[in-house]
Structure 1
Amino acid sequence: MHHHLKTQSQRNLCFFSIGLIFLIGSCNEPLTNVDNAKEKLAIENGYLAHEGFRRSLLFVKAWLAQADQESGLIPRNLKESIDIWNAKDAAADNYPFMVLTSAILDPALYNGKMAKILQTEIELTSRLDRLPDTYSFTKKGFDKEEIDKDEIIFGSSEYIKDGLLPLTEYIGHTPWSERMIALIDDIWKNAIYETAFGNIPSLNVEVNGELLQALSRVYWMTADDKYLNWAKRLGDYYLLGDQHPTDDIEVLRLRDHGCEIVSGLCELYVAVANSDAEKAAAYKPHIYRMLDRILEVGINEDGLFYNQINPVTGKVLDDKIADTWGYTYNAYYSVFLQDKYEPYQKAVIKALKNLHNYSQYDWEDGSADGYADAIESALNLYNREALPETKEWIDSQIQQMWSLQDSAHRKATEAYRNTGIIEGWHGDGNFARTSIMYSLWKSQGVTAFPWKKELYLGAIPLENGILVSLVSDENWEGKIKFDHQRHQSIFNLPLDYPRINQLPEWFTVNKDQKYLVNFSKGESSQTYQGKELMDGIEIKLEKGHQISFVVSSKE
C-alpha cells in the first residue's frame, strides 16, 4: 500500500479524523485544524533523532577508514595501540556499535563489511577454544606468545556484556548472538577456579558480574538450564559464601569495572524469582542487605553513587560521582519491579529528580564516554519513570556530548579531529551507542528503511498510540517500521527490567494485535496487524512535504 504526496496544490491541505492526523504542507508553513503543538514536537524530535543517527554513521565511516588494511579489523585506538585489535576494547566497546548503527542506517554495510569483520575476527583471533586473544597487525598473529587465560576470559566477558548482549537485544538471533553463546560456553569450559560451589571461570568481580548478566538473559533466550546453573554457581559464591559484596569485600567500585557484580546478582535474583522459588528465597536477604548497605554508605545527598567505597567500614574511597550511576540503579529498579519494594523505586526517583544539579558536571573529566554512560543511565531509567526534569537533563546533556565530536577536543588525536572520530579510542563506540539510544527515543522506536540523510522522522507517545511526523529534503520512498517487545520476542524475559547497555523499548506493537492507521482524507482508517507494522508500511514523500499520522491500538 502506497501513500503518495502527489501535487504542489496539496501543500496547504489538512485533514483530521478520529484517531488520525494526516497533514500535507511545507515544513516551514503553519499547520491548522490539528494539535499543532504535538505535531511540532514530533517533527522537532525528528530533527534530534536525525542528528544522533547522522553523527553515529559519521563515526562508523571515520573508524572504518582507520581499519587495518589487510585484515579489516578495527584497531584498539589511534594512538599507542593502533597496531592491535583486542577483545575487551576494540571488540567490546567500538565494533558492536558500528554494527548496530549499520543495522539501522546502512543495511548494505551491515550485511557486507560488518559481517565480514566478524568472520575475520573469528578466524584470526580465536585462541583458547573459540575465545579471542589480542591480535597484532604487524606480526600478523597474536601479540603475545604465551596464553594468559585470565586475560582472555576477561576480554571475552567484556565483549559479551558490553557488545554482543546489546546487539542481540536489538537485532535478535544473528551470527553475533551465535558468537556470544560460543564465548559463554567456552568461558565455562575453561572454568578453573575451585570453590565450595563448583568451578568458576574467574575471581574478578567485574568478569563474574558480566557473566551473571549474560547468563541470566541467555538462560531465558535459550531455555537451557545450564546457563542458569552456571549463574547460580556464581550467585552462591557471592551471596552464600564468604565473598558477599558488602559484607566481605573492602573495596567496592560503584562505577564500571566493579559495579557489574551488583547488577549481575540482581539479574540473577530476578531470574530465580521466576524459575526457582527456593533459590530466590535463599538469595533474597543477601541481595537486600547488599542494596541497603550501598544506599547507606555509597550515595551523596542527591542520591548518586560515589566511584568507590569500603562497604565494610562505610568509608568513601573515591568521592567523585560515578558516570555509570544508572547501571547500579538498574539493579535497584529490577528488584523493585520483581518484589514491588518501593524504597528502591524511591531511591531511583530521587536520583532522577536531582540530575539538574549535574548539568555542568564533567563526567569522567569531560570525556565523551563519561557523558555517554551518564546519559544512558538516565535514558534507561526515564523509560520506566518518565519525569519531565529527567527529560530536560537528557536533552541538554546529549548536546554537550555531541559537541565533542565537532570540537578540537583535548583528548582527540590531532590528525583525526573533525572527521567523525570523537576521541580516537575504543570509547568512541559508546558515543554511538548512546546517540542511537537517544535517537530511538525521539522516534519512539520507529525507523525508516532506507534511512537517508535528507529524511527526518520523529514521534511522540499518545495515550493510546503514537504520533509520527516525517519530512524529507528530497523525494523519498521506503518503509516505516515499528518496534516490538524485544525483551519477549528475542530474550523471552519474564519482565522488562532495566539492563546495562539495553536499547529501551518505547512504542511497541504486538504482532498479533490490530492497529488503526490512516494516511489520507479519501481513505477510511486502515487496519494493520502488528506484524505488518513491524515489517513496515510503504511510504512515498515528495521533497519538502510533511506528513503526520497516528497509529492506535484497536483493542
Structure 2
Amino acid sequence: MRHQLKTQIFHIVFAFSTSLFLSSCKEPAPIASEADQKAALENGYLAHEGYRRSIYFVHAWLEYADKKSGLIPRNLRESIDIWNARDAAADNYPFMVLTSAILDKELYEGKMSEILQTEIKLTSRLDRLPDTYSFSKEGFENQEIDKKEIIFGSSEYIKDGLLPLTEYIGHTAWSERMIDLIDDIWKNASYETPYGLIPSLNVEVNGELLQALSRIYWMTGDEKYLDWAKRLGDYYLLGGHHPTDDVEILRLRDHGCEIVSGLCELYVAVANSDQEKSAAYKAPIYRMLDRILEVGTNEDGLFYNQINPQTGEILDEEIADTYGYTYNAYYSVFLQDNYQPYQKAVLKAMGNLHKYTNFDWEEGSADGYADAIESALNLYNRESLAGTKEWIDSEIQRMWSLQDSSHRRNTEKFRNTGVIEGWHGDGNFARTSIMYSLWKSQGVTASPWKEQLYLGAIPMEDGILISMVSDKDWDGKIKFDHKRHQSIFKLPMDYPRINQLPEWFTVDKGKKYRVTFSKGQTANTYSGVELMEGIEISLEKGHQVSIIVSPSEK
C-alpha cells in the first residue's frame, strides 16, 4: 500500500514554521512518543487516500457534465441526457461540492457555485421546486407537471444533499436553496388530514421532511418548521398511521427507514421545546422502537430489509446496509431519555460487525459499502469500540477498490479513472470517503490541500496529536473543526443523524489552546477562533512535523 511505503521512506524529522516564532511556555510540555507520531502519520496516509479518491471522482464526473448547461447527468448510461433532483442533485452533486470545499477552493467557489445557479435557473418549475431537465431538449423532460414526483425529488435533495452540506460548510447559497425548497414543498401541501395539510403520503418523503424540519427549526428558530413537523408527527404517531401499530409493510433499509429516524428527530425536538407534545409522542415512539427490535433484527442485532410489524414476518431477509440510519434513532432517544436498552441494542450490533467483513452489501455495490461504513462511523463517533474501528478500516479498503474498476453489470470501462460505477450513487462513495478522512485527521484540514501533503491525527488525552509530511515544500494553514451542531444547526445536543459529518476534535471560540511543536521544545497559545481560521505551517520536503494541541491552563 502507498501509505506503508511512505512510512518506510520518510525519516522521523521534526520541523516547524519559522514564521510562527513560537515562545517558551511555563506549562508542562506534553511529549508524544515516536509510536504515537507514527500512528498519527499512518492516519495521514489513510486520510490522503480518501481525499485523493474523492477529488478524482469530482474531476471525472465534471468531464461528463452537459457541455451547454454544465449540469451533471443522472448517470453515465441510459440517463446521461437528464439531470434530476432525486438522484443527480441529491446523491452526486452535493458531495462534489463538499469535496471541493475541503480540497479545492477555486473549484468550490467557481464551477460548483455555477452549477447551483444554473440548476435554480433551468430546473425550477413548481414555484422554486425543481423538475427533471433534458439536455437534448434544453427544457423539461416531461411535458406535464407531476407534483408528487417534484415533491419527492425536492425532499431527497434536501435530506441527502443540502442538509449535510449545510452542516459542514454553514450558511451559504446551498443552505438558502434548502430553505427555499422546504418552504415551497409546504406551500404546495395538498393532502388533508385532521392535523392540517401535508405535502405527501409517501413514508420516505415524510421521513425525510421530518429530519429536515427538525434541524431547520433549530437552525432558524422559526416555529413554523416545528409546527409542520408536528403535523407529520401527529399523522404517524397519533392518527392511525403508526409505523408498527398500523401498517403491514415496514422497510428498514433506505427508501423506507427514514420515517423511523425522522419521528425520533422530532421526538428530540419536542422533548426540548414542547413538553405536552413530547408526552403525547413518547409511548408511540417507544412502541415503534421496541417492536422493530423484537421482530426486525437478526441474531447479531442488524436489521432485515423489510418486515411485517403486525405479524412479525420477515418479508426480505437481506441485511440492511443502512442499519446505522435506524440505529441513529435508537441512540438519539437513548441520549434524550437515558433509556439504556436502546444503547445496548446499538452496542450489540456494533460488537457483531466483525462477522460482516467483506459482506456482500447490495450485491457488492460501492453504495452498499458506503452506507454500511457510514453507519458504523456515525455510531463509532459516540461509542468507540476497538472492533468497530478495525472493521471500518478494513471495509473502506474494500470500497476504495471498486473505484476505477468496471461495474460488474457492465464490462465497458469508463474513459476517466475517477468514476466508481457510473451512476448517482458514486457521490455516496465520496461522502463516506470524506467522512473517513475527517475521522483520520480528527477534523483538522489543510489549506491549500495538495496531493503531495499528508496530514493525520490521533486523540491524545484532552487534545490531539497531529503529524504532517509532504513530498514537496508546502506552506499553508491547518484549520480546526468546531461544534457545528451548535454553531450551525443550534441543536440541543449532538444526536446522530443520517448523512451527518461527525465531529471529532473540536475547538471552542471562547477558549485557549496550547499548540506544542517538536517533542515539547516550543509552544504557543492560540484562541479557538485562531485555530478555526488556521495557523500557518511550513513544511520542508520529506520532513515530518508533529504537533500536540490541548486546552490551555492559562
TM interval, shorter chain, is over 0.9
2:197 corresponds in structure 1 to 199
Q: Work out the number of aligned pairs and report it.
A: 534
Quick check: 1:216 aligned with 2:214?
A: yes
Q: Structure 1: where are the runs of 5+ without partners? A: 7-16, 22-33
1:414 counterpart residue number: 412
Q: What amino acid maps onto 1:468 in structure 2? A: I
Return the offset for 1:525: 2.7
CA contact (8 A) 1:255 1:307 kept: yes
Partner of 2:401: helix, strand, or coil?
Answer: helix
From 300, 316, 319, the equivalent of 1:318 is 316
SS at match of 1:518: strand
Q: Go from structure 1 to structure 2 and tell me whether the alpha carbon gap of 1:521 and 1:255 turns closer, same or farther (over 3 Å shift).
A: closer
Shift in Å at residue 410 of structure 1? 1.3
> Residue 324 of structure 2 contacts residue 376 of structure 2 at CA under 8 Å; is this kept in 1?
yes
Match of residue 375, structure 2, among 374, 377, 393: 377
Work out whether 1:65 is the aligned partner of 2:63.
yes
What is the CA deviation profile of residues 364-417 of structure 1, one whole-angstrom value per residue up to 9, with x for unaligned ones? 000000000000000000000000000000000000000000333314572416
Moved more, 408-417 or 396-405: 408-417
Match of 1:449 in 2: 447
Is the Cα–Cα contact under 8 Å of residues 19 and 550 in structure 1 kept in the other structure?
no
**Could you say if the C-alpha distance between residues 294 and 345 of structure 1 is closer, same or farther in structure 2, counting changes exceeding 3 Å?**
same
Partner of 1:231: 229
Tell me what 2:361 maps to: 363
List per-residue Cα deviations over 1:310-333 (Å, max 9, x = no partner): 001110000000000000000000
Work out the CA distance in 2 between the residues paired with 1:122 and 1:87: 11
Measured in 1, the distance between the counterparts of 2:50 and 2:475 equals 22
Listed as ranges, the matches of 1:105-504 within 5 Å are 105-411=103-409, 414-416=412-414, 419-504=417-502
Structure 1: 4+ residue segments shifted above 2 A: 2-6, 17-21, 406-409, 518-525
CA contact (8 A) 1:99 1:114 kept: yes
Alignment partners' CA distance in 2, 1:464 and 1:228: 37
1:535 aligned partner: 533
Quick one: distance in 1 between partners of 2:458 and 2:410?
36
Q: Deviations over 1:217-241 (max 9, x none)?
A: 0000000000000000000000000
In the aligned structure 1, how far is the partner of 2:248 from the partner of 2:218? 33
Offset, 1:266 = 0.0
Q: 1:196 to 1:401 in 2, by over 3 A?
A: same
User: Using the alignment, how far apart are the partners of 1:330 and 1:397 within structure 2?
Assistant: 20
Contact 2:74 2:423 in 1 (8 A): yes
Change (3 A) 1:3 1:524: closer
Give the residue type in structure 1 aligned to 2:278. Answer: A
Cα offset for 1:35? Answer: 1.0
The DSSP-based 3-state class of the residue aligned with 1:414 is coil
Separation (CA, whole Å) in 2 of partners of 1:469 and 1:53: 17
- More off after superposition, 100-109 vs 509-518: 509-518
Q: What is the one-letter code of the residue matched to 2:478?
A: I
Is 1:216–1:271's contact at 8 Å kept on the other side of the alignment? Answer: yes
Distance change in 2, residues 1:126/1:413 (3 Å): farther
Given that residues 409 and 417 in structure 1 are in contact (C-alpha distance below 8 angstroms), is that contact kept between their aligned partners in structure 2?
no
User: Residue 528 of structure 1 aligns to a residue in which SS?
Assistant: strand
Structure 2, unaligned stretches of length 5 or more? 1-14, 20-26
Following the alignment from structure 1 to structure 2, what is the Cα–Cα distance between the partners of residues 301 and 69?
52
Give the drift of 1:94.
0.1
Contact 1:19–1:551 (Cα < 8 Å) also in 2: no
Counterpart contact for 2:518–2:546, Cα < 8 Å: no
What is the percentage of aligned positions where both structures have the same residue? 78
Deviation of 1:419 (Å): 1.2
Q: Note if contact 2:57-2:420 (Cα within 8 Å) is conserved in structure 1.
A: yes
CA distance in 1 between partners of 2:307 and 2:343 (Å): 22
How far apart are residue 97 of structure 1 and its match? 0.1
- Whole-angstrom CA distance in 2 between matches of 1:373 and 1:528: 38
Instruction: Deviation per CA, 1:4-33: give whole Å up to 9, x if none.
Output: 379xxxxxxxxxx94445xxxxxxxxxxxx
Tell me the SS of whatever aligns to 1:249. Answer: coil
Alpha-carbon distance in 1 for matches of 2:225, 2:407: 43
Q: Distance in 1 between matches of 2:404 and 2:227?
A: 48
CA deviations 1:274-310 (Å, max 9, x no partner) are 0001100000000000000000000000000000000
Change in CA separation of 1:509 and 1:474 when aligned onto 2, cut-off 3 Å: same
Segment of structure 1 superposing worse, 426-435 or 408-417: 408-417
User: Could you state the TM-score of these two structures normalised by the residue count of structure 2?
Assistant: 0.94
Distance between the aligned counterparts of 2:48 and 2:519, measured in 1?
A: 29
**Residue 53 (1) aligns with residue 51 (2):** yes
**TM-score, normalization by structure 1:** 0.94
2:127 is aligned with what amino acid? Answer: D
The aligned counterpart of 2:17 is 4
- Secondary structure, aligned partner of 2:93: helix
Paired AA for residue 486 in structure 1? R
Contact in 2 for aligned 1:20/1:549 (Cα 8 Å): no
Report the Cα distance in structure 2 between the residues aligned to 1:48 and 1:417, rounded to whole angstroms: 26
Shift in alpha-carbon separation, 1:136–1:291, aligned structure 2, 3 A: same
Instruction: Give the letter for the 2:68 counterpart.
Output: E
Separation of aligned partners in 1, 2:135 and 2:298: 46
Confirm or deny: 8 A CA contact 1:19 1:516 kept in the other structure. no
Distance in structure 2 (CA, Å) of the matches to 1:371 and 1:503: 17
Residues 206-261 of structure 1, C-alpha deviation per residue, up to 9 Å, x if partnerless? 00000000000000000000000000000000000010000011111000000000
Report the residue type matching 1:202 in the other structure. Answer: S
Superposition deviation, residue 554 in structure 1? 1.7
Q: Deviations over 1:30-88 (max 9, x none)?
A: xxxx5111111100000000000000000000000000000000000000000000000
Contact 1:193 1:202 in 2 (8 A): yes
Answer whether contact 1:209 1:263 (CA < 8 A) is retained. yes
Distance 1:367 1:19 in 2: 48
CA distance in 2, matches of 1:523, 1:369: 46
Q: Distance in 2 between matches of 1:249 and 1:458?
A: 48
Q: CA deviation at 1:3?
A: 3.9
Return the alpha-carbon distance in structure 2 between the equivalents of residues 182 and 283 of structure 1: 29
Q: For residues 380 and 412 of structure 1, do their structure 2 counterparts lie closer, same or farther at Cα, with a shift above 3 Å needed?
A: farther
* Cα distance in 1 for residues equivalent to 2:549 and 2:275: 40
1:360 and 1:435 mapped to 2: Cα distance? 17
SS at match of 2:80: coil
- Residues 112-159 of structure 1 deviation map (CA, whole Å, 9 limit, x = unaligned): 000000000000000000000000000000000000000000000000
